[in-house]
């Protein structure tokens, strides 16, 4: 079972470069999320999507863009990377809470992508 | 807006000690509550969840948590910790059909 897969797992960028993180899930989940994890700050939501073709801003959206052209994929883009974007990025997916039997809103996470911006 | 507070940033215990990690939340309506664990170098995994019903929830690896609505709390407990429980623990709140909000996490170090 693949679950949630993130690529790449590691990346080093120079300031001003662009890149895209890809998240793929095979559980037919409606919701997908991008979080960043920084020491002492827990996980902060960057952007999320409640379905194919829709996206919304989270707590810390500045400097990031997202797209959800297919239900199973959620892309996170950095147009012009900055050192403040050095972080570990986690993608997650979930059913709509309560919609399905056992659909409690539990999130399933990918293994993370470590990004360093020099 | 909802929020989650984890007041213990770093907890250090000896093996076989009892554990209680605090989690308080702020939200006025119905919520789902979760504890996630992140072992060193790994992604987050669900430890346990509260959706409705019995406020005492049992999870994997001998962990349990009690939802006390009057105190807005969802503390995590384990009667006897093991070295392998060394990890970071995150409490999370999800109001119905809204976004999941995480606490800042508690780092647990177990000394053999």
CA R_g for chain A: 14
Of A42, A90, A97, the CB nearest to B43: A90
Q: Which of B9, B44, B99 is closest, CB to CB, to A109?
A: B44
DSSP result, A96-115: PTTTSTT-----EE---EEE
Give the per-residue pLDDT at A97: 55
Report the relative pairing of strands A4-7 and A31-38 from DSSP bridges: unpaired
Would you call B96 an interface residue with chain A, using a CB distance cutoff of 8 Å? yes
**How near does any CA of chain A get to the CA of B14, in Å?**
23
Rounded to an integer, the average pLDDT of B69-79 is 95
| pLDDT tens over chain A, length 118 residues | 579 999 999 999 999 999 999 999 999 998 899 999 998 888 999 999 988 999 999 989 999 999 999 999 999 999 999 999 999 999 999 886 544 434 556 789 999 999 999 9
CB-based burial label for B78 (10 Å; 0-12, 13-18, 19+): buried
Q: Dump the DSSP string for chain A.
A: ---EEEE-SEEEE-TT--EEEEEEESS--SEEEEEEEETTTEEEEEEEESSTT--EE-SS-TT-EEE-SSTTEEEEEESS--GGG-EEEEEEEEPPTTTSTT-----EE---EEEEE-
Q: What is the CA radius of gyration of chain B?
A: 13
Q: Does the structure show a pLDDT above 70 at B62?
A: yes
**Residue of chain B minimizing CA distance to A104:** B51
- Select from A8, A29, A2 the least CA-distant residue to A76: A8
Going by the DSSP 8-state scheme, the letter that residue B15 receives in this structure is T
Distances (CA, A) of A12 to A24, B28, B58, B63, B108: 21, 43, 41, 38, 30
Among chain A, residues having any CB pair with chain B shorter than 8 Å are 33, 35, 40-45, 48, 58, 90, 92, 94, 96-98, 104-107, 109-112
């Amino acid at each position: 079972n693949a679950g949630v897969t993130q690529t790449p797992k590691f990346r080093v960028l120079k300031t001003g470069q662009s890149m895209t993180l890809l998240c793929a899930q095979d559980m037919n989940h409606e919701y997908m999320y991008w979080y960043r994890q920084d020491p002492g700050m827990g996980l902060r939501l960057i952007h999320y999507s409640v379905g194919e073709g829709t996206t919304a801003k989270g707590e810390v959206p500045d400097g990031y863009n997202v797209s959800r052209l297919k239900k199973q994929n959620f892309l996170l883009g950095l147009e012009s990377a900055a050192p403040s974007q050095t972080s570990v990025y986690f993608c997650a997916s979930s059913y709509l809470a309560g919609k399905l039997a056992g659909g409690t809103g539990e999130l399933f996470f990918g293994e993370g992508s470590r990004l360093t911006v020099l | 807006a909802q929020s989650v507070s984890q007041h213990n940033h770093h907890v250090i215990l000896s093996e076989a000690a009892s554990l209680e990690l605090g989690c308080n939340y702020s939200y006025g309506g119905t919520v789902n509550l979760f504890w996630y664990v992140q072992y060193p170098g790994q992604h987050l995994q669900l430890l346990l969840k509260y959706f409705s019903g019995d406020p005492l929830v049992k999870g994997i690896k001998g962990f349990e948590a009690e939802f006390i609505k009057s105190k807005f709390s969802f503390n995590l407990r384990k009667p006897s910790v093991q070295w392998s429980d060394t990890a970071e623990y995150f409490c999370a709140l999800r109001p119905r059909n809204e976004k999941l909000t995480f606490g800042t996490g508690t780092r647990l170090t177990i000394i053999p």
